[in-house]
Structure 1
Amino acid sequence: MSCRRSEALAFSLVTEINHAMARLVDIWDSIGIMEEQRVERMQTVKKHIDGLLHSMIMEEETLRHRIRTDIISSQKQLDTLCLELTVEPYKFEEDLTVLQLEKNLRCHVDSLLKEKNERLSELSDLKKQDEELCVTLCATPYYIPSGSVPSRTQLQELREHVEKLGKEKESRVKVFSGLREDIRTLMDEMGHEPESSLERESICPDTDIFLLTHDNIKALKLLLSQLKMKKETLVSARDKLKERATSLWNRLSCPEPEGEVFREAAMSTLSDDIRRWRGCVENLEKLQMARLEEVVDKVRQEILILWDKCMCGPEQREPFNVHFCDNHYTEELLSLHDTELLRMMAFYEAAQPILEDLEKWKRNWALFQEFERKAADPNRFSNRGGSLLKESKDRAKVQKLLPKLEEELKGHVEEWEKNKGSFFLVQGQRIMDFISSQWEEHRLLKDKEKNERMTKKTEISQFKTPTKRPLGATYTTPNKIKKRSKTTEASSAPRVPLQDFNSDKKLVPMSYSAFTSELSKKANSDAVFNSTVRDML
């Protein structure tokens, strides 16, 4: 359609030129211009038309050349941009005119230039953020060669890198703020004045004074740890002074002062408290020296209480008895008593779990003995109120609990002795020996009670009144009587009692399980159970 319009337009142009020339000829004819002049004028017209057409042709040729040049230039620029931006080369459609090709190339180049500028702009912003964060965190910047256009992948990685550093900065800022706040609080609580540059910088209000590096975080954590240890030391020193002051007040029977100087003010620091309590202790120690004999006696009472609580035997008390009985009251004697008191307090505190376990065993041991006593009481079967059943259940419970308590106690004691490298003594004995001795005493007591019952039974049977012989009964012949009396004299020879028979045997440690196993054994037919058998046969 466009070709037909251009052809029609060209035909119309030729027609108009022909009409114009015909009109000029008519004008010349009417004027009477001669042929030579007509030729001259027609040459002038031709010259004007040729010049115009030539000029137009030259302009169009120039345009065509420029378009081709632009195509070549745009193609090169496009190739370069594709290479810089690491994108696939642009593939054009076939059968495109020069103008369409130039336009497509130009549009695509503009699009890639725009993307290039956007990438470079984003790179500039991200690199700036990255550099700032890396300086703050002492991290390594993300590397992109200078002068190059970043790829989409590089930009994405740089974004992620910057985002990661941003989160890391937030995390470290939080850690730094927390550490500095804790350090500042500890210093305020202790009344500690900054001594090193690190301590001064850690409480400085300027938040940018510290680079958020791992080394600085470690340094602040170490400082915080040191301050915590110092606080613990100060608290321990203050508590010891308070404990010492309280002990001295109790020893000296002095009322605790109520003045402001002895009250812990809300805003006071640990250093202030220590100075206050140290002064109090010094004054009380001066008063103590003036009342030395009374104080030493009170310390001795405290030591006695702890000895009893720890179940110390005579051998354990013996090393200190020389000082305990010393009546020459001196400051050195008081110091020795204080040392012994502190030693026993420390021992009691460390050994309290074992002593509590032992006390629990003793309570159940007492219950077990009580149940054993009741079991031997013949009058207990007269009960009709159901307490006998309850007693049986409680007894079974105690019998089951005792071995368990002994095993737990044994394990705790073995662990103690392994850690301390020394025996845990109770009344001068190792705990399991002490428990075994209790079982052995119980066994001997049971044997004694059994022998007493058998002796009593034998005595009753010997002195029992003979029953009358039934009417018509026959008497034993003298020969039989004589024979029986001989047999009796032979078998009534004195025998050794059980205690005497076993007196040369070595005492074997016993537990509840061993005790019950002994009871379950069958008696030997030849065994002598008590001393009364010598009078029975």
Structure 2
Amino acid sequence: MAALNNFEQLLQNVTNISEEKTKKWWDVVVSMMGTNDVTVHWSQIFVKQVTELFDEMIDESIQKRLEMLNKIEVLLQKSSSLCKDLNIKLPSYGSQQLTLCEEQEYLLTWISRHEQKLEEIKTEIKKLNKEEMLLMKSLGRTPCPLPVNPLPCNDTITKFKAHLEELESLKFEREEQYFAAKSEILNLVEELQYEPALDFERAVLSQNDSLFEVSDPNMEKVHSFLDSLKQLSAEMKEEIASLREKLNSMWDLLNEDLRVRADFAKKTTYNSKQTLKALQEEVARYEDLKRANIEQFVSRVRKELVTLWEKCHISEEERSRFEYFNSEVYSEDLLSIHDLELRKLHVYYSNNSDLFALLEKRSELWSRMLELENNASAPDRLKNRGCQLLKEEKERNTLQKRLPKIEQELIRLADLYAVKHKKPFYSYSKTVHEIIAETHSTLDEDKKQKLSILKQKREQTLTPGKLGMTSSLSVHNLAQTPQTGSKRKLLMPFEPPSTRSKILHERNFPATAPSKLAHAQHTGRSHYNTERAKRIQKCRRLSRRKLQNDLENVSTEYNMFEKDLAHKEGCRSTLYDKENVLAIPLPATPQPGRTNYENCKF
């Protein structure tokens, strides 16, 4: 509507102007020529010129429109290219029904905005590529930049940024490794007094680290340089340790004053080139002293060799193989041979120290076990021993548990030694299996011999006259307290009189004890007999409890003894009734004259 009004206004203005100008022109022409053919001709020319002017104006407008369309086409192409570069969708032009000029302005604005955005992206890509190039150069790798044309997508740029972060982290990590390695290198160089021989070594040792590239080859060289210095340091320390050991050996052989040793050790505390040089000079000085006192050195080495022979369990036969031990031709060669033998034994003892320690421990425990076995079978084992019997029994049980474990570990270590060295391990010319087997065999033989002797003594003492008598040992004394030696003596259970009489009748023995043991004057049940019965019951309870514990912990020796005598009818221990475990049987009629219970301790 506004455009229509504008057009009508324009038309009205043009009409008014045309009418005014035409009238004015006509007045001039008429005043000049009048109304004749000339005026008509000029009027035709006037109309033609006005028409041409309008045509020119129209043509110019059309030309302007064509130019604008061409510009819009160019802008559209540029817009399309930008959309392709930016990976965005092309806008729908013409949908808003704009004029060509408005479309052109819209395109110009849109293109300007997106060109700026494209330029920003390209600038960012160039910056990222530059960073990547520097990082790759520092790491010694080939750069792989982002393409500027065509422009990468956002995901590609994001991945590239993450890649740069990884490179940055790797560079930082390598720089840390480099500075840590350089710190170690500087310490080792100072310790070894190392002089760099290569340009790379000088570059590493220089104070300017900004020029150093932490590339893959350079880092390999740094680590190689560090490893070589560590190797030199280890060799130097090994040589220093060897020289110190050698010097200590010389000091021992020469009985050097402890103050001299301490002063020298104080000066050579650290492992350095100066320490190595000082040790070399000191060892050379003592080598001269050793050559001057060769016989004294050989004698002392031989003493130390004998000590090591004992520690390594070397037998006399093996010792005799070292034929230089008795040589009296003292020379440096003889001393060197002794030194080699000494070092060999030191290494042998050090490598097998666990075996030697276990052998010594087993020998110690075995000796203690034999001592306890002898104490347990001694005739006076029950006299004035108190709680010692119980302590020894506990110790013996502990040893019987520990010794098999130690023997098992010894066998395992000996087998490992045999597998590793292709030969058995010897202790005084005997293998571990032989040592264990022989000691157990000897112990078994000793036990059998002792049982045989005990059997002979019992057979000699069991005469027909004694079998008919009551035992001279007090029944109460066999179960006084838990501290008495009841572990080694099982008490004879009570037998009914009928069974006892039957056995004695079969053996042609009198059914009653001698008359002198009877006390006929006590016929009634007195107050004394009542008190005595209470003591007997209390003693019986204690004995029952003690016997129950003893039966659980009965020793191996007594088990063998019991098995050996089980078939003997005349032995009191074979009459033990397993169903009646009372240590003091309850008699049918108390007999106060048989045992003195006044001395019982409860």
Q: Amino acid of the residue matched to residue 447 of structure 1?
A: K
Q: Which amino acid aligns with 1:13?
A: N
Distance in 2, Cα, partners of 1:259 & 1:380 = 56
Query: Which residue in the other structure is 1:6 paired with?
Result: 6
User: 1:163 matched to which residue of 2?
Assistant: 165
Q: Tell me how far 1:430 sits from its aligned partner.
A: 0.7
| 2:106 is the counterpart of 1:104 | yes
Match of 1:174 among 158, 162, 176: 176
Determine if contact 1:86/1:151 at 8 Å carries over to the other structure: yes
Quick one: which amino acid aligns to residue 434 of structure 1? I
Worse-matched range after superposition: 209-218 or 173-182: 209-218
Partners of 1:469 and 1:126 in 2: CA distance: 125
2:62 maps to 1:66 = no
Question: TM-score scaled by structure 2?
Answer: 0.68
Match of 1:290 in 2: 292
> Which residue of 221, 224, 229 maps to 1:222?
224
Instruction: Compute the displacement of 1:198 (Å).
Output: 4.3
The equivalent of 2:185 in structure 1 is: 183
Gaps of 5+ in 2: 469-508, 513-555, 569-602
- Using the TM superposition, give the Cα deviation of residue 254 of structure 1 relative to its aligned residue in structure 2, in angstroms: 1.6
Q: Does 1:149 align with 2:171?
A: no
Shift of 1:305: 1.4
Note the C-alpha offset of 1:144.
4.4
Question: In structure 2, do the counterparts of structure 1 residues 79 and 519 end up closer, same or farther at CA, with 3 Å as the change threshold?
Answer: farther
Match of 1:140, SS? coil
Distance 1:43 1:381 in 2: 171
Query: Which aligned pairs between 1:26-425 and structure 2 lie closer than 5 A?
Result: 60-92=61-93, 94-98=95-99, 99-144=101-146, 148-207=150-209, 210-255=212-257, 258=260, 262=264, 270-320=272-322, 322-377=323-378, 380=381, 386-425=387-426
From the superposition, tell whether residues 277 and 102 of structure 1 become closer, same or farther in structure 2 (CA, over 3 Å). same
Q: Deviations over 1:305-343 (max 9, x none)?
A: 1111122222221212x3222333332222222122111
1:266 and 1:163, CA in 2 relative to 1: closer, same or farther beyond 3 A?
A: farther
8 Å CA contact retained: 2:140, 2:217: no
Q: Is the 8 A contact 1:306 1:345 kept in 2?
A: yes
Q: Which moved more, 1:383-392 or 1:285-294?
A: 383-392
Deviation at 1:202, TM superposition (A): 3.2
1:95 CA drift (Å): 4.6
The residue type paired with residue 242 of structure 2 is K
Partner of residue 459, structure 2: 458
CA contact (8 A) 1:188 1:269 kept: no
Shift of 1:385: 5.4
Does the CA contact (< 8 Å) of 1:296 and 1:329 recur in 2?
yes
C-alpha distance in 2 between matches for 1:445 and 1:397 = 21
Rounded to whole Å, the distance in 2 between the matches of 1:464 and 1:289 is 86
Task: Determine the C-alpha separation between the residues in 2 that align with 1:121 and 1:89.
Answer: 23
Q: Secondary structure at the match of 2:90?
A: coil
Against the structure 1 CA distance between its residues 38 and 268, is the aligned structure 2 distance closer, same or farther, given a 3 Å change threshold? Answer: farther
* Deviation readout 1:137-187 (Å, 9 max, x if unpaired): 221221545754333334333323332222222222222222222222212
**Compared CA separation, residues 55 and 416, structure 1 to 2 (3 A):** same
Tell me the residue number matched to 1:433: 434
Deviation of the 1:350 alpha carbon: 0.9
Instruction: Give the secondary structure class of the aligned counterpart of 1:91.
Output: coil
Could you say what secondary structure the match of 1:155 adopts?
Answer: helix
Residues paired across the two proteins, number: 481
Q: CA deviation at 1:418?
A: 1.4
Identify if the C-alpha distance between structure 1 residues 100 and 384 changes in structure 2 by more than 3 Å, giving closer, same or farther: farther
Segment of structure 1 superposing worse, 190-199 or 257-266? 257-266
Aligned to 2:590: none
Aligned-partner SS, 2:461: helix
Q: Given the superposition, is the C-alpha separation of residues 396 and 466 from structure 1 closer, same or farther in structure 2, using an over 3 Å criterion?
A: closer
In structure 1, distance between residues paired with 2:347 and 2:82: 84
SS in 1 for 2:151: coil
Shift of 1:220: 2.3
TM-aligned CA deviation for residue 16 of structure 1: 6.0
Residue identity over aligned pairs, in percent, reads 23
Q: Do 1:186 and 1:231's aligned partners in 2 also have CA atoms closer than 8 Å?
A: yes
8 Å Cα contact 1:190/1:269 also seen in 2: no
Distance change (3 Å), C-alpha of 1:470 and 1:422: closer
CA distance in 2, matches of 1:520, 1:453: 9
The Cα shift of 1:203 comes to: 2.0
- Partners of 1:71 and 1:101 within 8 A in 2: yes
Shift of 1:426: 0.7
Aligned residues of 1:248 and 1:284 also touching (Cα < 8 A):
yes
**Deviations for 1:490-514, whole angstroms, at most 9, x for unmatched residues?**
xxxxxxxxxxxxxxxxxxxxxxxxx
Query: Contact conserved, 2:192 with 2:273, CA < 8 A, in 1?
Result: yes
Cα distance in 2, alignment partners of residues 57 and 266 from structure 1: 112
Contact 1:191 1:272 in 2 (8 A): no
Paired residues of 1:288 and 1:295 also in contact (CA < 8 A): yes
* Match of residue 485 from structure 1: none
Distance (Å, rounded) in 1 between the aligned partners of 2:560 and 2:47: 154
Mapped contact 1:361–1:406 kept (Cα < 8 A): yes
Check 1:428–1:23 CA distance in 2 against 1; reply closer, same or farther (3 A cut): same
- 1:383–1:319 distance in 2 versus 1, CA, 3 Å: same
Q: Distance in 1 between matches of 2:467 and 2:54?
A: 178
Alignment RMSD? 4.2
1-structure distance, mates of 2:110, 2:561 = 107
Which residue of 2 is the match for residue 495 of structure 1?
none
> Does the 8 Å contact 1:179/1:220 carry over to 2?
yes
C-alpha deviation, 1:22, in angstroms: 12
3-state DSSP class of the match of 1:329?
coil
Q: Is the 8 A contact 1:136 1:212 kept in 2?
A: yes
Where in structure 2 are the equivalents of 1:488-527 lying within 5 Å? none
Per-residue CA deviation, residues 239-287 of structure 1 (Å, 9 max, x unaligned), is: 1111211221121112257599946659976222111111111111222
Q: Which amino acid aligns with 1:246?
A: N
User: C-alpha distance in 1, partners of 2:319/2:262?
Assistant: 44
**Letter paired with 1:296:** V
**How far apart, CA to CA, are the structure 2 residues paired with 1:457 and 1:87?**
119
CA contact (8 A) 1:264 1:273 kept: no
| Cα 1:268/1:149, change in 2 over 3 Å | same
Q: What stretches of structure 1 of length at least 5 have no aligned partner?
A: 472-514, 528-537
When normalised by structure 1's length, the TM-score is 0.76
